[in-house]
Amino acid sequence: MPEDKNKRPSSNNDSDLFKQSMGDVKPLNSDNQNTLDNKPKPKPIKKHFSEQSAHNEITCESTNNIQSDDILFYAQHGIQNKTIRQLKRGAIPIDDKVDLHGLNKQEATNMLQEFLAYQIEQRQRCILLIHGKGIGSLNNRPTLKNLVFNILKNEPTVLAFSSAQARDGGTGALYVLLKRLL
């Protein structure tokens, strides 16, 4: 009996044990191998990022009903899901920040518009905007948070914004992604 090149010599005990464990199993008569090489690769499913991922997340309607703990989010159409995820996680490096605490509506509006214009001029990508939670505001409505939301979502140079992570101010601050003008 010619010896097969692929078989390794083994003890008779091993062979007997193997035959015993295989019992009534019959070998395949075909030499065809069933491999995965012939199957087409699966196409990835594009995940659509939920613009309303949190139950209290406010999106793009004009409002004055935003509460202190509401999570804010806005993105222009066409922003990549990966970029949105990075923005929400605070993974995009912050180039500059501004704090609007203690300002009235007019002062905050002026400072915000000047700050945005300067950041666009400096070709900054991401800024941190601290508006506060408005806990001491009239009627327990965060005046600056509502103001900032309405200004930013109507600003064409703002691509997206999202409430910050707790380490950067949580629902009292926003990560703002800016358009880089040529």
pLDDT tens-digit map of 59-108: 444 567 888 888 999 999 999 999 999 999 999 999 999 999 889 999 99
pTM: 0.65
Q: 96: which DSSP letter? A: E
pLDDT for 3 equals: 52
Domains of the chain as residue ranges with CATH:
57-178 (3.30.1370.110)
pLDDT for 8 equals: 56
CA distance 76 to 56: 20
Mean pLDDT across the chain? 82
pLDDT for 59 equals: 43
CA distance 113 to 116: 5
Q: Give the tens place of pLDDT for each residue, 10-49.
A: 567 888 888 888 888 877 776 666 655 666 666 666 555 4
CA distance 66 to 151: 14
- Alpha-carbon dihedral angle through residues 154, 137, 135, 87, given to the nearest 10 degrees: 10
Query: Is 141 within 8 Å of 135 (Cβ atoms)?
Result: no
